[in-house]
Amino acid sequence: MEAAVNEKLTRVGPGTPMGELMRRYWQPIAAVAELDAHPTKPVRLLGEDLVLYKDLSGRYGLVERHCPHRRADLSYGMVEQCGLRCSYHGWQFDHDGRCIEQPFEETTNPESHYKDRIRINAYPVEAKRGLLWAYMGPQPAPLVPNWEPFTWGNGFVQIVFSEVPCNWLQCQENSIDPVHFEWLHDNWAQRMRNRDGPYAPKHLKLDFEEIDYGIVYKRVREGGDEKNPLWTIGRVCLWPNALFTGNHFEWRVPINDTTTLSVGWFFNRVPKEREPFVQESIPSWTSPVIDSATGRNITSHIMNQDFVGWVGQGGIADRTKEHLGTSDRGVVMMRRRFLADLDRIAKGEEPKALIRDAKLNQCIQLPIIDRDVFVNGLTRAEMAKREEQRRNATAAYQEGFLFLSGQPDAVRKAFDDAMR
């Protein structure tokens, strides 16, 4: 890949081609539960410093982080019935970024209407399925996608964040790379446990198919055939910056050019014996990337192993030094689609996979392995049998299919209680 093309695909700041593309999609930036606990949160998104808040009326806002008066940090501001007030001198801003009060100015010079000339950058925020979503692009905004798993009931949902020190694109390219599972998760996981034995089943055949909302990869491994669900259904590289595997999503949200917020949304169907099950609130937590004892990346969990693969490529991977193989056809498809979308934007057209049809958005279906299981559920005995089969299938499952390290005890207890 030419250096100029790599630059075009990786840079996400304001005014960059990829930054303008990403701003046309809703991005998950926090969990509803976070602002229930504390009403303001500093965030950095697509190279912009912002503050997310929930005011006393329950409305969410996302505004630039520094007050235009004397540049104080609005993440230390006070939420009001409407909007956010700077704690330094009391200037107040609404969710549209308008200055609606300047206490001293209005006291000493009430006729000046100085506040009407002051405005800060502000972006829409919506809550959906435990996540807070931000839109930073041109109006009219598309709809926040209501993916089918968001409509499922009788399940335990948790949201997990990690801050990964590398560019978002090398994270997202993992979403269309099936062969890495054989090596990074199966074979490497087995070697890390100091276990002898044969390598995991090889990948024998791959296929990649573009769909309305991304690219599906299909695979056949040793011992399988084209009747295998992983071939007939596949997994989705969800456009533009997510992975969907059947019961969980992973978004790779660009914080800036060299840092990515990994956002995981996980659904576990409770046993049929627990139905009807209603989850009162969706917990969120942050998973560590670095082992504080060694200073090295955590490698014990599947997603943490992915992080090692991404971060090892550098802050921004130098794609001029790549030597792609036939297993990388999906990566090539994805890059070409991004470049085509950038051309569409330059012509004033819309990129791929924006949702504007409200009826369609009532429930957007995706290819889902084991849809019946997630919709209809299993008994405890059936779940135990499937878990045992999974543990025996690959090294990655042999000590439990734990996606991320650092799960708080309270979340684990709530999960265990739901799954009993």
Number of domains in the chain: 2
Alpha carbon distance 230, 295 (integer Å): 36
172, pLDDT greater than 60: yes
Same domain (yes/no): 304, 239: yes
List Cβ neighbours of 254 (8 Å cut-off, separation of 6 or more): 12, 22, 45, 46, 47, 167, 168, 241, 260, 261
Over residues 7-35, the mean pLDDT reads: 98
Measured CA to CA in angstroms, residue 179 lies from 7, 175, 183, 203 at distances of 26, 11, 7, 7
Domain assignment present for residue 12? The answer is no
Same domain (yes/no): 415, 332: yes
Name which of 169, 145, 131 is nearest 354 in CA terms: 145
Cis peptide before 140 (omega within 30 of 0): yes
pLDDT for res 388: 78
Alpha carbon distance 251, 337 (integer Å): 18
pLDDT for res 196: 75
pLDDT for res 391: 67
* Domain range for 166: 148-419
Domain assignment present for residue 326? The answer is yes
Last residue of a domain, one of 78, 104, 134: 134
Over residues 318-333, the mean pLDDT reads: 97
Same domain (yes/no): 241, 102: no
Alpha carbon distance 8, 4 (integer Å): 6
Domain assignment present for residue 20? The answer is no
Same domain (yes/no): 401, 253: yes
| Residue 95 burial class via C-beta count within 10 angstroms: exposed 0-12, middle 13-18, buried 19 and up | buried
Last residue of a domain, one of 68, 99, 134: 134
Element holding 17 (H helix, E strand): helix 17-22
Same domain (yes/no): 171, 284: yes
For residue 122, what is the domain's CATH number? 2.102.10.10
Confidence of residue 34 (pLDDT cuts 50, 70, 90): very high
Average pLDDT, the chain: 94
Render pLDDT for 109-140 as a digit per residue (tens, 0 to 9).
989 999 999 999 999 999 999 999 999 999 99
171, pLDDT greater than 60: yes
Same domain (yes/no): 204, 334: yes
Same domain (yes/no): 248, 378: yes
Residue with tokens 């009826």: 359
Domain assignment present for residue 279? The answer is yes
Domain assignment present for residue 84? The answer is yes
Domain assignment present for residue 39? The answer is yes
Domain assignment present for residue 46? The answer is yes
Alpha carbon distance 235, 393 (integer Å): 18
Over residues 300-312, the mean pLDDT reads: 94
pLDDT for res 398: 46
pTM listed for this prediction: 0.95
Same domain (yes/no): 106, 203: no
Same domain (yes/no): 97, 175: no
Domain assignment present for residue 321? The answer is yes
243, pLDDT greater than 70: yes
pLDDT for res 300: 85
Over residues 267-295, the mean pLDDT reads: 95
Last residue of a domain, one of 134, 169, 203: 134
401, pLDDT greater than 50: no
Over residues 39-65, the mean pLDDT reads: 98
Percent of the chain with pLDDT over 90: 88
Over residues 145-173, the mean pLDDT reads: 97
Same domain (yes/no): 155, 56: no
Same domain (yes/no): 163, 74: no
Least confident among 187-201, 233-247, 334-348, 361-375: 187-201
Same domain (yes/no): 127, 157: no
